Amino acid sequence: MDFESLTNLSRLQAQGFLARAGLYLSSDGTNPAAKSVLDNEENMRAELLSSLRQRARSRLGNARLEEVDKLVEEWIDEQIEAVSEKPDEEAALERLTRDGVLPLDAYTLEFGEQYLRSQARFSIDDRALVAEATRHPDFEEQFQNPNGSVSLVGKWVNTGTPDAFFLIATLTLADRKSSVIGSWRLYPGDVSFLHVHSLPDALERFALAFGVDFQMGTERGKFIRHAYLPVGSKISIAHSDEVEVSSIARFDQPSNSTEIYFAFSVNIDRYRKMLQRRTKRHQQRNERN
């Protein structure tokens, strides 16, 4: 395989492929930005690097591998310039970051004021747990939108103890930063995990236990799975308690509306009382022990 074989790719695909191949070569495959994106990219990259190394050895003779790879990197950089107006490794990395292709631990984790205020309402601080969940999630799902992507991560905490719970966190991914929107504790004693096959499924069971009915467009319920909300529409909640509605959504240009992937409600007071009750039980067990 040589550079001519890349003509079946679009300009952006070829540029991204070459940038990732260069990053892979310079880092011995350790740079997360070199992660494959295209179908069969690993085989394509292996064939290209093998072909270029053979060509470099023919030119350099008995040169060291470092010298061979340096020449190969120069050829890749020259080809990137030929494919586009300028080398675009940075842009390729930006696209990978924006599209949520990189692993979560490649992003800088941030906890905004909204999240900190939310945690303060419940007298808990789950930042360390959320950070661990982003580094080593048990489950992860991503949802794309034009400005980046949204990631759901889930991780079991305190497994094998009476205090075990399932932590779900929602994060936005953009500009090489992951910003935590919210996190929730799902205790098996309060939330049924029967027939749960995804993180949205788990959030639906959570909403059934702690949510209230709300109206979003033409849809109504404690958990709404996929809906379109016309511009200017409001969410209606017929409940006197403090209620928070969270959603994963994107703006749909053709219909001039917001496409809701899913949305769920939480009765803040009910959730707070559950956490307080479990905290008290935990303290009592520690005192007995």
So what's the pLDDT on residue 30? 85
Per-residue pLDDT of the chain (289 residues; tens, 9 = 90+): 567 777 777 777 888 888 888 888 888 888 888 888 888 889 988 988 888 888 888 888 888 888 888 888 888 888 887 776 544 555 545 555 554 456 676 778 999 888 898 888 888 899 999 999 998 899 988 876 655 678 899 999 987 788 899 999 998 887 778 889 899 999 999 999 988 999 999 999 999 999 999 988 888 999 998 888 887 778 888 777 788 888 877 766 667 778 888 899 999 999 999 999 998 887 888 787 6
pLDDT in tens, 227-237: 888 877 788 88
CA distance 108 to 212: 34
So what's the pLDDT on residue 253? 65
C-alpha distances (whole Å) from 166 to each of 9, 69, 203, 231 are 43, 47, 11, 35
So what's the pLDDT on residue 148? 62
- Which amino acid belongs to residue 121? R
So what's the pLDDT on residue 36? 86
- Which amino acid belongs to residue 260? I
Q: What are the boundaries of each domain within the chain?
A: 3-98, 104-288
- Which residues, 6+ apart, have CB-to-CB distance to 288 below 8 Å? none
Give the pairing of strands 148-157 and 223-230: unpaired
